Amino acid sequence: TDAARAPQLTALGACQQQQQQSASGLSEAARRRAEQELGETPETRSAALSALRSAIQSDATMRCRTDDAFLLKFLRHRKFNVDGAHKRIRAYLRVRRKFPDVFDDYGPAGVRPVLEDGVLVVLPHRDGEGRRIVLYRLGLWDCAKYSSTELVRATCVVMEALLEEEDTQVCGVSVVLDMSGLALRHIRRLDLRYFRRYRAVVHKALPVRVCALNVVRGGRFFNTTCRVASALLPSKLADRVHNHGDDVAALHACVPAALLPPEPPFHGCLAVQLPLTPFYHQLMSGHWTEWFGQNSLQCINDDESGSGD
């Protein structure tokens, strides 16, 4: 029941609040970026947190965390626009009801096959802009083991874990999409339903800033897919897409070779074992299993079917 779940939800918020107060918070570079780009200062942060917390507590349709750590993710994403952050939280909760199959078995265990196959990899180091670097290698997707829905689920799980890093909330992520090895069996499953779900769940609900999308080995298929997906993906993201094809130098101009693995088509010089990077091992720890389980206790009860903006 809701009454039985409430203490668990409160405990999660208290735990997150304690972690935030004892942590160093933003790095100095991220703090400066947050002030310059988001308008974040101690004063604006405190005022916005108070206003957003009051708005949520007054919203009878939501059962939601109100600790600083949770609210800050959404405030930073919306540049401390309280109304925008409130709407984003509603969207964040609403998609869980709208797409229950995406959020079934939602947590590290539910996406282990995708990560172990190396379809989705988080690299160890940030780029010069402070962004996390995420590799998507769609050619490694084993369609017999998991569906396109599970790819969306894996993306959400990884992004939610990354968003617990304050620097990532401010600086965002840089995605490298490797299209090599993509076959007809993959293409058939990357349909409009997939793109609509990806847009609704990742780009319209999660408070993640996708700052760059670098595509390698894209070829004609990527150009065709882009025309189809452009109407569904946010215009800001479309403007941040760079299709490098087979041009390794062009890729390295956007993502330095020192940050990329040596495997083709990345041809970097980073000594890292793919796909089991430090992030993978951290995600599979017991801490995250508990975190996702308790975080899923949040809910919204309304009649709206949209995902918010």
Contact 298, 89 (CB under 8 A): no
**Is the model's pLDDT at 229 over the cut of 60?**
no
To the nearest 10°, report the CA torsion of 148, 296, 95, 143. Answer: 0
Structure tokens at 46: 């405190």
Kindly state the helix (H) or strand (E) to which residue 211 belongs, with its residue range: strand 210-216
**Is the model's pLDDT at 3 over the cut of 60?**
no
User: Which CATH class, in words, describes the domain spanning 2-98?
Assistant: mainly alpha
Tell me what the mean pLDDT of segment 146-161 comes to. Answer: 96
**Is the model's pLDDT at 11 over the cut of 70?**
no
Q: What is the pLDDT of residue 186?
A: 87
Contact 121, 270 (CB under 8 A): no
Residue 58 CA, distance from chain mean position: 28
Q: What is the pLDDT of residue 189?
A: 86
The answer to which of 76-85, 86-95, 100-109, 270-279 has the lowest mean pLDDT is 270-279
Cα(208)–Cα(159) distance, rounded to whole angstroms? 7
Tell me what the mean pLDDT of segment 90-109 comes to. Answer: 95
What are the residue boundaries of the structural domains of the chain, listed by start?
2-98, 108-283
Using the structure block, give the residue that is written with the tokens 């847009």.
199
What are the percentages of helix, strand and coil residues in the chain, rounded to 5?
55, 10, 35
Prediction pTM value? 0.87
Cα(98)–Cα(93) distance, rounded to whole angstroms? 9
> How confident is the prediction for the chain on average, in pLDDT?
87
Q: What is the pLDDT of residue 99?
A: 94
Backbone angles phi, psi at 140, to 5 degrees: -90, 0
The answer to which of 10-24, 129-143, 219-233 has the lowest mean pLDDT is 10-24
Residue 230's pLDDT band, with cuts at 50, 70 and 90, is low
Is the fold of 2-98 the same as that of 108-283? no
**Is the model's pLDDT at 221 over the cut of 70?**
no
Q: Radius of gyration (Cα) for the chain, nearest Å?
A: 19
Q: What is the pLDDT of residue 159?
A: 97
Tell me what the mean pLDDT of segment 125-146 comes to. Answer: 96
**Is the model's pLDDT at 308 over the cut of 80?**
no
The answer to which of 19-28, 145-154, 258-267, 296-305 has the lowest mean pLDDT is 19-28
CA distances from 199 to 124, 204, 229, 293 (A): 26, 6, 10, 24
Tell me what the mean pLDDT of segment 281-291 comes to. Answer: 91
Tell me what the mean pLDDT of segment 51-63 comes to. Answer: 96
Residue 1's pLDDT band, with cuts at 50, 70 and 90, is very low
Cβ neighbours for 22, distance < 8 A, ≥ 6 positions apart: none
Q: Which one has a higher pLDDT value, 236 or 270?
A: 270
Cα(68)–Cα(243) distance, rounded to whole angstroms? 38
pLDDT in tens, 167-200: 999 999 999 999 888 888 888 888 888 888 988 9
| CATH (one of 3.40.525.10, 3.40.50.2020, 3.30.450.40, 3.90.550.10) for 108-283 | 3.40.525.10
Q: What is the pLDDT of residue 44?
A: 96
Using the structure block, give the residue that is written with the tokens 């074992």.
273
Tell me what the mean pLDDT of segment 202-223 comes to. Answer: 85
